[in-house]
Amino acid sequence: MNSIGQGFWEAWRLIITFDPDLYEIIFLSLQVTVAAVIIASVIGLPFGAWLAVNRFRFRRYTIAVLNALMGLPPVVVGLFVYMTLSRAGPLGGFGLLFSPSAMIIAQVIIITPLIASISHQTIRDLWAEYHDLLISMHATRAQRIMALLWDGKRALLTATLAGFGRAIGEVGAIMIVGGNIEHATRVLTTAITLETSKGNFAFAMGLGLVLIMMAVLVNLLIHTVGKTERTGTW
Amino acid sequence: MKLNWKALVAASLLATASSAETLRMAVTTSFYNSGLSEILLPAIKADTGLDVELIVVGTGQALRLGEAGDVDAILVHARAAEESFLAQGFGSHRREIMYNDFVFIGPADDPANVTAAKSAVEALQSIAAIQALFVSRGDDSGTNKKELKLWAEAEIAPVGRWYRAVGSGMGATLNVASGMNAYTFSDRASWLNFGNKGDLALLYAGDPALFNQYAYIPVNPDRWPHVRYDLAMQLESWLTGEKAAELINGYTINGEHLFIFNAVP
């Protein structure tokens, strides 16, 4: 079994020959995941901060549920979105099933709890530090949340990247709602599943390595742009 | 594989047809894993301008997608299930396109001596007799339905540690069989196109009971007004036409024919 070694060669061959199909599925993978991460961050980051600064009756339970939802099984989310978007389902009229939009919806559901939960933990610690200051300044609740999100932005990047990591490597849900249609909804993870099922292990492995390299590149890029993890920038 | 993708892209770029209309069709994993779709789709695009999007699932799920109106047409291979689908009014009609056959795959040294079987039923009986490992699709697909029908005819209830129902597509099932060096039941096309044969070999084929007919069913537009029945009919006339016959009959892997066209004009 030298498929692993072959996989490395296959990965390089795919990248340096500019295989158009490969670039198409890489692009779609990024498009779907980045869209999902942006939407989930817009919902999840403020929600996590809001949970950290507010005291209300079911707060403890809300946090417990949120933390539990981090482990939401993607295949169940996929099935739920599938049944909702199917022509026979409640939102069938939009005809979204088997489209990239459906894949984005599924990923948003999967990663929002993760982003919100990490955001909550980060902001909670920061809030303990800023509490007296912000209260003495008579900051409104919205101002407090804004200030905490802004000052915690570096740490919140981790939340966003965790969401990206979970979404880019996800296959169970997007296979169900996207259908793995060539030139329409095929992304790296579903292509890997498909090639594995055909017994083309080297090719599947090559795609897998491309996926990993892409995840590393995106993370590096974000750290570079955000100027994090460098001496003197904290 | 790689070349085929390229051919597909090249063909879709060269396609002269101007307006690209999209038809969504659920097909069985055995049809897709055979590789024939990579030959047919570019030709369909070139001749009719149709972009056919394939949802690759087992026959059971393909029928469910048709019932829910999530696809415009289906291409499946399970006669009884197809007829009940039509009887319930989910499909407009059924058109036979092509056939191939099911085969028994197993370890090359063949401990159950399936090679000597005189019928499909006998092949199963000899596997069950020594309780040799057998991997079943177990996913309510056309291939699975056929296999279960044969077990019933052999009067054997396939239960026990030797019978492994994996609940996966044809390729994944062959992977499991290859990994466990077990017997399995496959359609000929998927087997020929499979890249991880390991120590497995084709052991038995040829019983008329192993006949495998593929049929095309457009989803009934009376039930789901949004389906593209016009496009489904356009595709049907192509699939039953001369060009399709030529491509289907001409598709070979290692010199072996995978499908035989039998649509009646």
Look at A199 and B178 and tell me if their CB atoms are within 8 Å. Answer: yes
Please tell me whether residues B82 and B109 are part of one structural domain: no
3-class SS string, A180-202: CCCCCCCCHHHHHHHHHHCCCHH
Centroid of chain to Cα A58? 27
Of B210, B234, B250, the position where a domain reaches its end is B210
- pLDDT value, residue B182: 95
Would an 8 Å CB–CB cutoff place A190 in contact with chain B?
no
The residue in chain A having the minimum alpha-carbon distance to the alpha carbon of residue B190 is A198
Give the integer Cα–Cα distance in Å for B80 and B199.
34
The confidence score (pLDDT) of residue B158 equals 93
Domain range for B107: 101-210
Query: What per-residue confidence (pLDDT) applies to A76?
Result: 96
The domain that holds A95 is classified in CATH as: 1.10.3720.10
- Supply the pLDDT for residue B30: 81
Residue B72, both tokens: 């415009």
Q: What is the pTM of this model?
A: 0.81
A16 assigned to some structural domain: no
| Residue B200 pLDDT grade (very low, low, confident, very high; cuts 50, 70, 90) | very high
d(CA A14, CA A203): 9
Which residues in A lie closer than 8 A to residue B228 (C-beta atoms)? none
**Local confidence band at A230 (pLDDT 50, 70, 90 cut-offs):** low
Residue A13 pLDDT grade (very low, low, confident, very high; cuts 50, 70, 90)? confident
Say if A204 falls within a structural domain: no
First to last CA, chain A: 47
Q: Cα(B191)–Cα(A137) distance, rounded to whole angstroms? A: 73
Per-residue pLDDT, A175: 92
Percent of the residues in chain B that have a pLDDT greater than 90, as a whole number: 76
Interatomic CA distance for residues B28 and B189, integer angstroms: 12
Do B113 and B167 sit in the same domain of this protein?
yes
- Boundary residue ending a domain (B210, B232, B253): B210
Residues in chain B within 8 Å Cβ distance of A4 = none
Contact B217, B92 (CB under 8 A): yes
Q: What confidence score (pLDDT) does residue A9 get? A: 85
Torsion, Cα of A50, A54, A58, A59 (10° steps): 70
Q: SS3 for B191?
A: helix
Res B15: pLDDT: 42
Residue A226, in any domain of the structure: no
Name the residue among B106, B143, B149 with its Cα closest to residue B32. B143
**Domains contained in chain B, number:** 2
Which value does ipTM take for this structure? 0.73
Q: Are B221 and B92 within one domain? A: yes
Residues 6+ apart with CB under 8 A from B254: B192
Does residue B3 carry a pLDDT above 70? no
- A-chain CB neighbours of B175 within 8 Å are 196-197, 199
Average pLDDT, chain A: 90
Q: Which two tokens stand for residue A146?
A: 């804004």
Domain of residue A42 covers 29-186
Tell me the pLDDT tens digit for each residue of B130-158: 999 999 999 888 899 999 999 999 999 99
Summarize the confidence of residues A133-158 as an average pLDDT.
90
Q: Are B44 and B54 part of one and the same domain? A: yes
Q: Which amino acid, B69?
A: G
Domain count, chain A: 1
Together in a domain, B115 and B167: yes
Look at residue B18 and tell me whether its pLDDT is greater than 60.
no
Residues B200 and B215 in one domain: no
pLDDT at A198 over 60: yes
In a domain, A53, yes or no: yes
Task: Tell me which of B190, B210, B230 is where a domain ends.
Answer: B210
What mean pLDDT is predicted for residues A51-77? 92
Residue A43 pLDDT exceeds 50: yes
- Select the more confidently predicted residue: A210 or B33: A210
- The span from the CA of B183 to the CA of B30, in Å, is 17
Taking contacts as CB-CB distances below 8 angstroms, the residues of chain A near B5 are: 19, 21
Structure tokens at A197: 């099922």
Is A129 a member of any domain? yes
In this structure, are B105 and B199 located in the same domain?
yes
CB contact under 8 A, B53 and A184: yes
DSSP string, A49-108: HHHHH---TTHHHHHHHHHHHTT--HHHHHHHHHHHHSTTSTTGGG--TTSHHHHHHHHH
pLDDT of A2: 65
- CA pair distance B151, A78, nearest whole angstrom: 34
pLDDT at A22 over 50: yes
Tokens of B78: 């399970």
Q: Do A198 and B171 touch (CB under 8 A)?
A: yes
In a domain, A57, yes or no: yes
**Which distant-in-sequence residues (6+ apart) come within 8 Å of B128 by Cβ?**
B134, B154, B156, B158, B162
Question: From CA A177, how far away is CA A86, in angstroms rounded?
Answer: 9
Cross-chain Cβ contact A181/B195 below 8 Å = no
The whole-number pLDDT of residue A229 equals 60
Q: What's the whole-number mean pLDDT along residues A157-174?
A: 94
Q: Is B189 on the interface with A (CB under 8 A)?
A: no
Beta-sheet strands, E only, within B38-147: 50-57, 73-76, 95-107, 134-136
Report pLDDT for B7.
53
